[in-house]
Amino acid sequence: MRAHSAPSSHSPVSSGPSAAGAAIELVALTKRYGEAKPAVDAINLRIASGSYCCLLGPSGCGKSTTLRMVAGHESVSSGDILLGDRNITNLPAAARGTAMMFQSFALFPHLSALDNVAFSLKMRGVDKAMRQQQAQHLLDRVAMGHLAARKPGELSGGQQQRVALARALITQPKVLLLDEPLSALDPFLRIQMRAELRRWQKELGLTFIHVTHSQEEAMALADTMVVMDHGHIVQTGTPHEVYNQPVNEFVARFMGGHNVIRTPDGLVGVRTDHMQLTPAAAPAPAHDLALPAVVTDVEYQGTYVLVGLQSLGAERTAHSTAEFSVMWSEARFAQSPFGVGDAVHLSWAAQAAHPLRG
C-alpha cells in the first residue's frame, strides 16, 4: 500500500470517495502502568481500510486505552501501530492521520459552530476565509450549515455531535476514532445518530474505530466487532459471527441472548430464542436435552416476551447455572402463555447448542 502524504492545509476538504481511509494494524500492542498487569496486553489486530470496527467490552477491559494509543493520546509501552504502510507508534497525534471524536464532544462553548470546526485549521495558520469556507462545507455536509453561527449551548445533543464530527473531519483523517460517541444522548436520539454515523462512514469511505459498552450499538454499526476482556482480545468477527458463535463463556454472557449450559459433553451456549417451553403436565418433549424448571419472571418487551426460569431438583447440579431465559415472540406467547410459578419443561435441540470454551 502506498504511503499517504499529509494533506495541504489550504486544499479543499474532499467530499467523495477520494477521502478514503487506510488499513490500521496493531502489532503486539501493550500498555503498562507501573508494576500492575498490563491494561492492554500484546494485542494483535488488523482493521481493513474503509471499514467500521467496534471495540467492545466491559469497563476496564482496555478498549479505551487501545483507542487512546492509536490516537497518540497515550504512550505505547511496547508494540507497534501501523497506518497504511507507515509506523505511527511514536508520532505526535497531529501527524498520525487520525482524528478523535470524544464522548463529551469537547466543543468550545464561546465559539460558534463554524469557528469550532475551523479551529484546528486556525492553529495551522490557514487564513480565515479559507478555513471558514472548509468549515462551512463540512457543516453543510452534516446538515448543520444553517446553524453555523450558533454556539454549542444553543444546540441540541445531536446537533453538537454533528459539529464534533465536522470538526474531526476537517483535518482530512484516514482513520476516525470515536470514544463512546453516543453515550451522552437519549435512547431515541442514540438510535437515530448511530444510523447517521454508519451512513457518514460509508459515504466518506473512512476507517472508523468506535469504542462502546453497548452490544446493540456494536452489532448495528460494525463490519468487525472486537470483544476485549482484561486487556486481551477475546474474539474478533462480524456481528453475526460473534453473536451466533461466541468462542467462550465470557463472550456468550457478555453479548447476551444466550444461556450457558454445562452438559455431559461440555459447556455450550444456546440462544434464548432457540429454547422451548412446555407445561410440566404435558409429556416431556422429544428433544435431546430437557430439564424441569419453574417460571420466575415474565417481561413484556413489545415484539417479544422474555421468560425467566429456574431449573429444579437434581438437574440444577448438572448445569453451570440454575437460571435461564427464554425469548418468545409476542404472538407465540399469546398462544401459549406462562405465568410466574408455572412448572415447565425447558428444552433445546442438540443442533441449537454451540460449544464454548470455559
Q: What is the DSSP secondary-structure string of 170-222?
A: TT--SEEEEESTTTTS-HHHHHHHHHHHHHHHHHHT-EEEEEES-HHHHHHH-
Q: Are residues 81 and 190 in the same domain?
A: yes
Task: Give the pLDDT score at 321.
Answer: 58
Task: Please say if the pLDDT value at position 212 is more than 60.
Answer: yes
Are 79 and 181 part of one and the same domain?
Answer: yes
Residue ending a domain, among 199, 219, 244, is 244
- In this structure, are 207 and 290 located in the same domain? no
| Percentage of the chain lying above the pLDDT 90 cut | 67
Residue closest to 319 by CA, chosen among 261, 253, 275: 261
Mean pLDDT of 124-153: 92
In a domain, 9, yes or no: no
111 pLDDT exceeds 80?
yes
Give the structural domain span for 50: 17-244
What is the strand order of the sheet 323-329 is part of? 276-279, 343-348, 289-300, 304-311, 323-329
Are both 124 and 191 inside the same structural domain?
Answer: yes
Torsion from C-alpha of 265, 267, 269, 275, nearest 10 degrees:
50
Does 64 share its domain with 203?
A: yes
User: Three-state DSSP class for 124?
Assistant: coil
Q: Do 169 and 228 share a structural domain? A: yes
5 is a domain residue: no
pLDDT tens digits for range 52-77: 999 999 999 999 999 999 999 999 99
Q: Is the pLDDT of residue 97 over 60?
A: yes
Does residue 140 sit within a domain?
A: yes
**Is the same domain home to 146 and 27?**
yes
Q: Which three cell numbers stand for residue 285?
A: 418433549
Q: Are residues 26 and 138 in the same domain?
A: yes
Q: How many CB atoms lie within 10 A of CB 203?
A: 13
Q: What is the pLDDT of residue 9?
A: 34
Output Rg (C-alpha) for the chain, integer angstroms: 25
Q: What is the CATH number of the domain that holds 89?
A: 3.40.50.300
For residue 8, is pLDDT > 50? Answer: no
Confidence of residue 185 (pLDDT cuts 50, 70, 90): confident
* pLDDT, tens digit (0-9, with 9 covering 90-100), for 145-181: 999 999 999 998 889 988 998 999 898 899 999 998 8
Name the domain boundary from 199, 215, 244.
244
Give the total number of structural domains in the chain.
2
273, 198: one domain: no
Assign residue 106 a region (left: φ > 0; alpha: ψ between -120 and 50; beta: otherwise): left
Outline where DSSP puts E strands in the chain. 24-31, 40-47, 52-56, 78-83, 86-87, 98-101, 175-179, 207-212, 224-229, 232-237, 258-263, 266-271, 276-279, 289-300, 304-311, 323-329, 343-348, 353-355
pLDDT of residue 313: 58
| pLDDT tens-place string over residues 238-284 | 999 999 999 999 999 999 999 998 887 889 999 999 999 999 988 77
Q: Count how many Cα atoms sit within 13 Å of the Cα of residue 200 in the half-sphere of its side chain.
A: 20
Is position 328 within any domain?
yes
**What confidence category does residue 215 fall into, taking pLDDT thresholds of 50, 70 and 90?**
very high
pLDDT tens by residue, 15-59: 333 346 789 999 999 999 998 899 999 999 999 999 999 999 999
Question: Are residues 164 and 73 located together in one domain of the fold?
Answer: yes
Q: Is the pLDDT of residue 318 over 70?
A: no
For residue 322, the domain's CATH number is 2.40.50.100
Please tell me the predicted confidence (pLDDT) of residue 16.
34
Residue 253 within a domain:
no
Residues 216 and 265 in one domain: no
| 217 in a structural domain | yes
Structure-block grid coordinates of residue 158: 445531536
- Helix axis angle for 128-141 and 157-169, nearest 10°, is 130
In whole numbers, what is the pLDDT of the chain averaged over residues?
Answer: 88
Domain check: are 281 and 348 in the same one? yes
The last residue of one of the domains, among 188, 216, 244, is: 244
Residue 1 falls within a domain, yes or no?
Answer: no
pLDDT bracket for residue 102 (50, 70, 90): confident
Would 237 be classed as within a structural domain? yes
